[in-house]
Amino acid sequence: MVEGIWLQLSARNIATLIAVDTGLLLAVLTLTLMTGKIFGFSSKDEVSLILCGSKKSLASGVPMANVLFPASTAGFVILPLILYHQIQLFLCTLIARHYHNKHLADV
């Protein structure tokens, strides 16, 4: 925010970042779902695998970016992580709600 990154990027660039981040997250979620199915995980283990397999992006990415990149560019490196994290929170909430409803229907 301090560097004014949001003002330096066009709406098209931000939309592209959101699309790429969403695609990456969907790929990871699909990979973890298929891994759980292939190895015959129980429903509870499958949920854990899916919801935990895509995490730690922002918590580990920001400190690494601050160490690896100069302050003038770190914000641009972190922006995709911030967007990914927000998309992740939204989609994983929907997934958790789906599994919750599925569990209630099985009871």
What does the pLDDT look like over 21-53, one tens digit per residue? Answer: 999 999 999 999 999 999 999 888 888 888 887
Q: How far is CA 13 from the centre of its chain?
A: 18
Per-residue pLDDT at 9: 87
Count structural domains, the chain: 1
The domain containing residue 83 runs over which residues? 5-106
pLDDT of 58 strictly over 80: no
Residues 6+ apart with CB under 8 A from 29: 50, 53, 54, 91, 95
